[in-house]
Amino acid sequence: MRITSLGHSAFLLEGRDRVLIDPFLTGNPMASTTADKVDCDIICVTHGHGDHLGDAVNIARRTGAVVASIIEMSEWLEKTGVKSVGFNMGGTATIRNTKITMVPAFHSSSIGAPGLEFSAAMAVGMVVDSGKVVYHAGDTCVFGDMKLIGELYKPDVALLPIGGFFTMDPRQAAMATGLINPKIAIPMHYGTWPPIEQDPKEFEKLAKKSSKAKIVILKPGEHLEV
């Protein structure tokens, strides 16, 4: 599998299928590409905030990709004219050749459609098995049941927010790495705006004390083969 950082929390996983996660590209000062240049088969959206839902609708309309999301968001997505699979925490959806399991995340969620702002159920994490197992934690703080996520799904790679303010900071994310015990941990959701400025090297230093995971820092546009 090839894992490419597109900036912020957006990643493209190229395994058995091409899975795009949290495609916030338009308006993202860290984006390595534009929405019209991304091709994918599946889009995963962890929650409705604009820096995660992002360009999901436009990309899905253009590519025909299926959007995987929590059920309440899926019902809204269907009204926008895209195909969506809505499920819930603990559930697994098989889309094409990929299995996606929805797991908890501790965060809020809303959709800011002009004139139609509303709560969008709950924020979640996604465990994506498309040849390798990748856990995208979404936006979250550290929580003890991350250990269960690690034990149940044994992720090869964990994508973890470190920005603080809205999510975990490097210290919490390092603790999360120890709980999850992935082979590789990649920091995300930092440096996009001043409130979430962080040094990923600080996360790397702390995570090495709490886990045996290899820490890989990907700049937007860089990729990792796993």
What pLDDT sits at residue 176? 98
What pLDDT sits at residue 66? 98
55 closest CA partner among 86, 12, 13, 90: 12
User: The whole model's pTM is what?
Assistant: 0.96
Residue-level pLDDT, tens digit, the chain, 226 residues: 999 999 999 999 999 999 999 999 999 999 999 999 999 999 999 999 999 999 999 999 999 999 999 998 999 899 999 999 999 999 999 999 999 999 999 998 887 655 555 666 799 999 999 999 999 999 999 999 999 999 999 999 999 999 999 999 999 999 999 999 999 999 999 999 999 999 999 999 999 999 999 999 999 999 999 9
Could you give all domains of the chain from N- to C-terminal order, each with its CATH number?
Answer: 2-220 (3.60.15.10)
What pLDDT sits at residue 110? 81
What pLDDT sits at residue 100? 99
